[in-house]
Amino acid sequence: MKAVVLAAGEGTRLRPLTEDKPKGMVEVAGKPILAHCFEQLIDLGADELLVVVGYKKQAIINHFEDEFEGVPITYTHQREQNGLAHALITCEEHIDDDFMLMLGDNIFQANLQDVVNRQQEDRADAAFLVEEVPWDEASRYGVCDTNKYGEITEVIEKPEDPPSNLVMTGFYTFTPAIFHACHLVQPSNRGEYEISDAIDLLLHSGRTIDAIRMNGWRNDIGYPEDRDEAEERLQGEINPELAAENLAASE
């Protein structure tokens, strides 16, 4: 299964960390965020990495070149930052079967394999890792509504009045049908082609999309403090005693 990693963003909220590098090259626990993404995707069985680059793209290309741990990398270019659906379309010609999609600014320690397994059952057209967040935070994300079978019935990007507190986390599996939906998407109020709108089009066409609830944790590296939190979590898993000392010192 191929894996797409979206890594074209500028990361303005991460400044000063992104003043001289793209977001995916910001280091967490001694290596770039993208290296963490690539390792996880390869563990999940990725046999090719399709990396969408844009802002300061040469830094990514020069660092990783054309393979990672023996798995080939193909780069595609999003020349304007017009949203995730727009970024995904740049990979269309390289994909003809089910694939994984990961946002290249997330650190996961979670049940990603469950999402891949569900996709491989051929029961669903797509599957997402979803997470429950506090209700007052849900409006910051793509919010999912589900039925009693755990199937997604609606996806709304950053709603003012969220229908649930279940949100998309940045890891998905799709069939190539998502590309047709991305082509049909119209710009949102933010002027971007939203992946959530493409997903909603899939739902309205009768496709089945399953929600897999997250078991574990993830950090969306949006701000410098998110990077610090992810680093502490990862170091804590490597050295629990150090994590306990850090926790005691902060209390």
Could you report the per-residue pLDDT of 175-224, keeping only the tens digit for each?
999 999 999 999 888 878 888 889 989 998 888 899 899 999 988 887 78
Compute the C-alpha angle 209/153/188, nearest 5°.
95
Closest CA to 197 of 147, 239, 156, 144: 156
Share of residues in the chain with pLDDT > 90 (%): 47
- Is the predicted pLDDT of residue 247 greater than 60, yes or no? no
Which residue has 């469950």 as its token pair? 114
Contact assessment for residue 79 and residue 56, using Cβ atoms and an 8 Å cutoff:
no
Taking only the tens place, the pLDDT of each residue in 35-72 is 999 999 999 999 999 999 988 999 999 999 999 999 99
Closest CA to 105 of 59, 37, 56, 186: 37
Query: Other CB atoms closer than 10 Å to residue 195's CB: what's the count?
Result: 28
- Confidence (pTM): 0.88
Cα gap 236→201, rounded to integer Å: 41
Share of residues in the chain with pLDDT > 70 (%): 94
- Is the predicted pLDDT of residue 249 greater than 60, yes or no? no
